[in-house]
Structure 1
């Protein structure tokens, strides 16, 4: 029980520390509203499920034996964040748009193209942001094994790893939902005139590019 409590606490700390997943969910919620935030959270944790299954299947051993694989994943993650950043910077609102005063979300062409992304694109981007997140990769590679008992047969070890991974997924999903609602609550204050929309796009783009630099070093 103590070990499980320690694992839950470690999971909470990992998810709470700002990183690509948190930033993606919050910015999507701010740009497009609560529904996009919830879809983002679902996509992020779909990526977590892939991480869990990969760890159970022995991907950690593969990355440990081939450090270049982790380096490639890390730079791929940085490149994807940079792509999202550039896409946000290039987004332009229409000058003749209206904004819904109740929701703070633009009507017509007020919302930048990146904010008008459909659910599938929002979901896909969220999955990729998580899959290429080096923080999550390192968690399952180096940290998760510390909570596994030694001396268990390989089959039971995999079952234990799967259970811990699912605990992490549940903890992360609950926190991600909180980030989605937080971003949606901020949306009304940050949307408005086309000038505000442009500033928001630039802010989002700058955050993504900053994360890309941090991830790549």
Structure 2
């Protein structure tokens, strides 16, 4: 069972690493939580994103993602919900930047919501992006090898291995990002512009998702 060649694993992990380092809504959300509230919130956001991704993997294994791929209405509903949520996150970041810029006092760390809230938001950011579901549906089945084991088991194995790749990259990015933001927190104006940039990117990602086609 699970009898794969070295070429198979090199192809799979090479593609997984390449896809992991490409910035997207998930990675940007994790980076934003880290930058605003520290690595604790960054890790909470990361685990939230992973929880949402795990749902997508399960849906792919069970064949539910194929329903989303075939149903224009289901795709559109989830797409617009996800786009609205990303735009809302972007607006919140812009408001936070404006508040931080209005104060003439010494800069302070923004009041942090609970890590549980960051975790829940991470789940929503991932679940409300139908492109993620379609990604898993298109990516994982490519690595199913006839005779290597039950198809369902192969799908589940490769889906779970994507989390191994994420676990090698995202925690390191959180720790590095937290260290960098600690150096920037004393520079209020620069921090405000960084917050505006994050807000603009989230709004842009929301707009891109709204225009996405299956």
TM-score by length of 2: 0.84
With over 3 angstroms needed to count, the CA separation of the structure-2 counterparts of 1:167 and 1:215, relative to structure 1, is: same
Q: Describe the shift of the 1:182–1:68 C-alpha distance in structure 2 as closer, same or farther (beyond 3 A).
A: farther
Count matched residues: 203
Contact in 1 for aligned 2:69/2:134 (Cα 8 Å): no
- The reply on whether 1:25 has 2:23 as its aligned counterpart is no
Rounded to whole Å, the distance in 1 between the matches of 2:202 and 2:44 is: 19
1:141 to 123, 137, 142: 137
Q: Considering only aligned residues, what root-mean-square deviation do their CA atoms show, in Å? A: 2.3
TM norm structure 1: 0.83
Which of structure 1's runs of 4+ aligned residues deviate more than 4 A? 96-99, 150-153
Assess, with a 3 A threshold, how the Cα gap between structure 1 residues 87 and 173 changes in structure 2: closer, same or farther.
same
C-alpha separation in 2, matches of 1:152 and 1:9: 20
2:123 is the counterpart of 1:123: no
**1:76-115 map, 5 Å:** 76-91=81-96, 92-93=99-100, 95=103, 98=106, 110-113=108-111
Q: C-alpha distance in 2, partners of 1:212/1:20? A: 9
Question: What's the CA shift for 1:188?
Answer: 2.3
Does 2:17 match 1:9? no
Q: Cα gap change, 1:14/1:68 in structure 2, threshold over 3 Å: closer, same or farther?
A: farther
Compute the displacement of 1:163 (Å): 0.8
Q: Which stretches in structure 2 are left out of the alignment for 5+ residues?
A: none
Where structure 1 has 5 or more consecutive residues not aligned to the other structure, the ranges are 100-109
